[in-house]
Structure 1
Amino acid sequence: MAKKRDSLGARLNRGEVAYDFIGNRKLWYSLSILITITAIVALAVRGLNMGIEFQGGAVFTTPKSEVSVSQAREYAEEASGHDALVQELGSGALRIQVGGLDTAKSDQVRSELAKDLGIAEDKIAAELVGPSWGEQIANKAWTGLAVFMILVVIYLAIAFEWRMAVAALIALIHDLTITVGIYSLVGFEVTVGTVIGLLTILGYSLYDTVVVFDSLKEGTKDITKQTRYTYSDLANRSINGTLIRSINTTVVALLPVAGLLFIGGGVLGAGMLNDISLSLFVGLAAGAYSSIFIATPLVADLKEREPAMKALKKRVLAKRASAADKGEPLDGPDEDADGFLDEVETTVVGQRGRRGRPSENHG
Structure 2
Amino acid sequence: MARHTTDDIESSAVEALDLEAATPKHGFFVRLYTGTGAFEVIGRRKMWYAISGLIVAACILSIALKGFTFGIDFEGGTKVSMPTAGQNGTVTTQQVEDVFSKTLGKSPESVVLVGSGGSATVQIRSEALNNQQTEQLRDALFDAFKPKGSDGQPSKQAISDSAVSETWGGQITKKALLALGVFLVLAAIYITLRYERYMAVSALTTMVFDLVVTAGVYSIVGFEVTPATVIGLLTILGFSLYDTVIVFDKVEENTHGFEHTTRRTFAEQANLAVNQTFMRSINTSLISVLPIVALMVVAVWLLGVGTLMDLALVQLVGVIVGTYSSIFFATPLLVTLREHTDLVRTHTRRVLNRRKPAASAGDVVAGGAVDLDGATEAEPAEATIGGNPAVGNKPAPGARPVRPSSSRAGRPTGKRSPRGQ
TM-score by length of 1: 0.85
User: 1:11: how far off?
Assistant: 3.2
Aligned residue identity for 2:365:
P
Matches within 5 A, 1:85-234: 85-89=111-115, 91-118=119-146, 123-234=158-269
CA displacement, residues 12-71 of structure 1 (integer Å, 9 cap, x when unaligned):
576643111011111111111111111122222222111111111112233432321332
Which residue of 101, 109, 119 corresponds with 1:83? 109
Instruction: Name the stretch that deviates more: 47-56 or 209-218.
Output: 47-56
Instruction: Give the counterpart letter for 1:83 in structure 2.
Output: E
Match of 2:94 in 1: 70
- Once the two structures are aligned, what percentage of the paired residues are identical? 37
CA gap 1:7/1:355 in 2 versus in 1, 3 angstroms: same
Q: Which of 25, 34, 58 lines up with 2:54 in the alignment?
A: 34
In the TM superposition, what is the alpha-carbon distance from 1:237 to its structure 2 partner? 0.4
Q: What is the total number of aligned residue pairs between the two structures?
A: 350
Range 221-230 or range 89-98, more displaced: 89-98
Instruction: State the one-letter code of the partner of 1:32.
Output: S
Query: Which consecutive residues of structure 2, in runs of 5 or more, have no partner in the other structure?
Result: 1-22, 148-154, 373-378, 384-398, 410-421
Deviations 1:166-197 (A, max 9, x none): 11111111112111111122222111111111
1:329 maps to which of 351, 365, 372: 365
In structure 2, distance between residues paired with 1:10 and 1:25 = 24
How far apart in 1 are the matches of 2:120 and 2:43? 55
Counterparts of 2:370 and 2:292 in 1: how far apart (Å)? 48
8 Å contact from structure 1 (residues 83, 98) kept in 2:
yes
Could you report, residue by residue, the CA deviation over 1:217-274 in whole angstroms, capped at 9, with x for unpaired residues?
1111111111221111111000001101111111121122123335643565432222
Decide whether the 8 Å contact of 1:50 with 1:191 is kept in 2.
yes
Partner SS state of residue 42, structure 2: coil
* Aligned residue number for residue 361 of structure 1: none
Q: 2:413 maps to what in 1?
A: none
Deviations 1:299-340 (A, max 9, x none): 00111111111111111122222221213625247778xxxx
Give the 3 Å change call, closer, same or farther, for CA 211–354 of structure 1 in structure 2.
Answer: farther
Cα distance change on mapping 1:329 and 1:256 into 2, 3 Å: same
Distance 2:170 2:140 in 1: 30
**Residue of structure 1 aligned with 2:38, choices 10, 18, 21:** 18
Q: Is the 8 A contact 1:227 1:319 kept in 2?
A: yes
Instruction: Give distance in 1, aligned partners of 2:101 and 2:55.
Output: 35
CA shift at 1:291, angstroms? 0.4
What is the aligned-residue RMSD (CA, Å)?
A: 3.1
Task: Tell me by how many angstroms 1:353 deviates.
Answer: 7.5
Shift of residue 118, structure 1, vs aligned partner: 4.3
Deviates more, 1:25-34 or 1:179-188: 179-188
In the alignment, the residues of structure 1 paired with residue 351 and residue 406 of structure 2 have an alpha-carbon distance, to the nearest angstrom, of 17
> Relative to 1, partners in 2 of residues 1:105 and 1:20: Cα closer, same or farther, differing over 3 Å?
same
Name the larger-Rg structure. 2
Structure 1: runs of 5+ lacking an equivalent: 359-363
**Bigger helix fraction:** 1
Deviates more, 1:172-181 or 1:303-312: 172-181
> What is the alpha-carbon distance in structure 1 between the residues aligned to residue 291 and residue 169 of structure 2?
28
